[in-house]
Structure 1
């Protein structure tokens, strides 16, 4: 397989509480992959472990951006991350343009200030996400959908090869969702790899090439056309130990 990330026997815990057990998963290069599962299933934790934000108890995360095995530290400048909207301090005193320019810091190196070209590029990406008139707006004044678009623009200015996004469609309006998915499809056409923690099962077949079902463990993974089945959906959400049937209802599934 033309892979971009391999997870091998990875187990992750918060303190004494295991969140993910024995995760084995391979993510395909040049594809849009959805990571699906109920609340509390470990989807965001899996992504954070990939980004070296959480250290697994055991197992490994290996990158193949150059078709050779690499650690996160060797390729991190080629990876863009869009966190959950709720995990960001939106009261931080910064303008929209400031936040987008932050995506250029990996290219600038330590102690170097952004140049005019970096600000121009950031403004260009704000045009792409439909927010050029918001450049000088404080981020605390933005709606949920506008915030997601700003973070997408910040990811775009990184010129990354791999994009990891944690629920980028959560809480956004239909217009914003359309803008985001079209930009992600454009990135895929350019050969980029995109991993998305996703919650809306109704759009998986329309948006994604690959899907990974997870609930503490990997339930199933592979091409959407083969793996996104009623049986795998039922198996993934039925074993939600934290939420029971409420976890099923929250994502709009009738079992």
Structure 2
């Protein structure tokens, strides 16, 4: 049976100040699967995600998404259906805003310009806070939360978006086990609903338990495929211990 492709990357090269951090990346992410993106620090994992989200402009190549009719579209054309959870460390947690307002941000793509959230939007935000185990935290300042609680709030924001594709940059880094269990349970539920989930992941010990597919990156694609076919000691060694001379990138 042919599997639908949600995202296709073709010959993508990304450079900062003329120094390549990703070189000639070609990948296909399958619809309705949870894919781990793994590699050492500086391998270009976050740079690839940023290129996929239009946050950095590639030197060459393109990223193409498939809409509900399996038509090829750009990120800009589908951005309201793509949810992004950035790295915990990349967020200004001192910004004065409440948990409720952060989660409501996930509804803005549905509202249009200058429209205020409606009762239905607030109800969705409330439901998503319940899903991540923080139903009583709506009025808290985001700066008052622990690292794990903040990550759950950002997941609630992504869930409130009701997207088709979820792209997450190290959502499990530095969180407690309770938060990790909650996050993975919700991500698996999304996949069971046919959503596509991409996760930059750092803990190789949990790959086989958590993911359907895996991509090994070290500035180039080392290997990609189903976890059961691709995840082995030889590929891990090749990814994490190869010589790199293309430059550095997150």
TM range, smaller chain:
over 0.9
- CA–CA separation in structure 2 for the residues paired with 1:30 and 1:97: 29
Residue 13 (structure 1) aligns with: 15
- CA–CA separation in structure 2 for the residues paired with 1:221 and 1:193: 16
Q: How many residues align?
A: 242
- CA–CA separation in structure 2 for the residues paired with 1:207 and 1:149: 18
Is 1:84–1:166's contact at 8 Å kept on the other side of the alignment? yes
- CA–CA separation in structure 1 for the residues paired with 2:4 and 2:28: 10
Measure how far apart 1:90 and its partner are: 0.5
Q: Give yes or no for the alignment of 1:115 onto 2:118.
A: yes
Residue 139 (structure 1) aligns with: 142
Q: Give yes or no for the alignment of 1:28 onto 2:30.
A: yes
Runs of 4+ in 1 over 6 A off after TM superposition: none
RMSD (Å), alpha carbons: 1.0
- Residue by residue, what CA displacement relative to the aligned partner does 1:149-191 show, whole Å, maximum 9, x if unpaired? 0000000000000000000000100000000000000001100
Residue 248 (structure 2) aligns with: none
List runs of 5+ in structure 2 lacking aligned partners: 246-250
Residue 171 (structure 1) aligns with: 174
- CA–CA separation in structure 2 for the residues paired with 1:240 and 1:30: 34
Measure how far apart 1:2 and its partner are: 1.3
- CA–CA separation in structure 2 for the residues paired with 1:186 and 1:16: 41
**Of the candidates 39, 42, 45, which is equivalent to residue 43 of structure 1?**
45
Residue 71 (structure 2) aligns with: 68
Is 1:215–1:240's contact at 8 Å kept on the other side of the alignment? no
Measure how far apart 1:240 and its partner are: 5.5
> Aligned ranges for residues 145-224 of structure 1 at < 5 Å?
145-224=148-227
Is 1:38–1:240's contact at 8 Å kept on the other side of the alignment? no
Residue 245 (structure 1) aligns with: none
> TM-score, normalising length from structure 2?
0.95
Residue 253 (structure 1) aligns with: none
- Residue by residue, what CA displacement relative to the aligned partner does 1:110-142 show, whole Å, maximum 9, x if unpaired? 110111221111011100000011110000111
- CA–CA separation in structure 2 for the residues paired with 1:92 and 1:119: 21
- CA–CA separation in structure 2 for the residues paired with 1:198 and 1:224: 13
> TM-score, normalising length from structure 1?
0.93
Measure how far apart 1:225 and its partner are: 0.3
- CA–CA separation in structure 2 for the residues paired with 1:22 and 1:37: 16
Greater RCO structure (CA 8 Å; 6+ sep): 2
- CA–CA separation in structure 2 for the residues paired with 1:229 and 1:6: 24
- SS of the equivalent of 2:72 reads coil
- CA–CA separation in structure 2 for the residues paired with 1:65 and 1:185: 21
